[in-house]
Chain A
Amino acid sequence: MWQTFGFEFVNFYFIPGLVVGCIYALGAIGITLTFGILRFANFAHGEVMMIGAYFTWTVMTLVKNGLGFPIHPLVAAVPAIALAISLFIFVDRYFYKPFRSAPTIRVVMASFGMMLVIRSFVQSVWGPNQLTFVPGIARPNETVKSFTNSFDMMILMPNKHFWIIAGTFVIMLALSWLLTKTKIGKGMRAVSDSPELAKVSGIDVEIIIRATWIVGGFCAVAAGVFLVMDLQMLETTMGFRMLLPMFAAAILGGIGRPFGAVVGGLVIGLAEELSVYPWLGNGPLLSPGYKTGVAFAIMIVMLVLRPSGLFKGRLF
Chain B
Amino acid sequence: MSSLPTLEINDLFAGYGETEILKSINISVEPAQTVAIIGPNGAGKSTVIKSVLGLVNVRGGKINLNGQDIIGIAPDEAIRQGISYVPQTHNVFPNLSVLENLEMGAWTRKTGIKERIDEMFTLFPDLQVKKSKIAGSLSGGQRQMVAMAKALMVDSKIMLLDEPTAGLSPKYQSEIFQTIKKINGSGIPILLVEQNAKQALEIADKGFVLVDGANKVQGTGKELLEDSNVARMFLGSKD
Q: Could you say which residues of chain A place their CB within 8 Å of the CB of B108?
A: 202
**CB under 8 Å from chain B, chain A span 252-271:** none
- A200 near B93 with CB under 8 A, answer no
- A194 near B107 with CB under 8 A, answer no
- A183 near B103 with CB under 8 A, answer yes
Stretch at the interface among A14-22, A168-176, A185-193, A218-226: A185-193
B75 CB–A CB distance under 8 Å: yes
With the chains together, A196 CA to B78 CA distance in Å? 14
- A202 near B100 with CB under 8 A, answer no
- A197 near B93 with CB under 8 A, answer yes
B192 CB–A CB distance under 8 Å: no
Q: Could you say which residues of chain A place their CB within 8 Å of the CB of B93?
A: 189-190, 193-194, 197-198
A199 CB–B CB distance under 8 Å: yes
- B107 near A204 with CB under 8 A, answer yes
B71 CB–A CB distance under 8 Å: no
- B87 near A199 with CB under 8 A, answer no
Of the residues A187, A189, A197, A205, contact of B87 by C-beta under 8 Å: A197
Knowing A189-B95, A194-B93, the reply to whether A200 touches B55 (Cβ < 8 A) is yes
A203 CB–B CB distance under 8 Å: yes
B154 CB–A CB distance under 8 Å: yes
Q: How far is the CB of B79 from chain A (nearest CB, A)?
A: 3
Q: Could you say which residues of chain B place their CB within 8 Å of the CB of A183?
A: 103, 107
Q: How far is the CB of B148 from chain A (nearest CB, A)?
A: 12
- B55 near A186 with CB under 8 A, answer no
Taking residues whose C-beta sits less than 8 angstroms from the other chain, chain A's interface range is 10 to 19
Knowing A186-B100, A197-B87, the reply to whether A202 touches B107 (Cβ < 8 A) is yes
A4 CB–B CB distance under 8 Å: no
Q: Could you say which residues of chain B place their CB within 8 Å of the CB of A189?
A: 93, 95-96, 100
With the chains together, A200 CA to B80 CA distance in Å? 10
Q: How far is the CB of A70 from chain B (nearest CB, A)?
A: 45
With the chains together, A183 CA to B105 CA distance in Å? 11
- B96 near A202 with CB under 8 A, answer no
A201 CB–B CB distance under 8 Å: yes
19 more CB-based (< 8 A) A-B contacts, given A189-B95, A201-B104: A186-B96, A186-B100, A186-B104, A189-B93, A189-B100, A193-B93, A193-B95, A196-B90, A197-B90, A199-B76, A200-B53, A200-B75, A200-B76, A201-B105, A202-B76, A202-B79, A202-B107, A204-B107, A205-B76
- Interface on B for A, CB 8 Å cutoff? 53, 55, 75-76, 78-80, 85, 87, 90-96, 100, 103-105, 107-108, 150-151, 154
Interface CB pairs A-B, < 8 A, 25: A183-B107, A186-B103, A186-B104, A187-B107, A189-B95, A189-B96, A190-B93, A193-B94, A193-B95, A193-B96, A194-B90, A194-B94, A196-B90, A197-B90, A198-B93, A199-B75, A199-B76, A200-B76, A200-B78, A200-B79, A200-B87, A202-B75, A202-B79, A202-B108, A204-B107
- Interface on A for B, CB 8 Å cutoff? 183, 186-187, 189-190, 192-194, 196-205
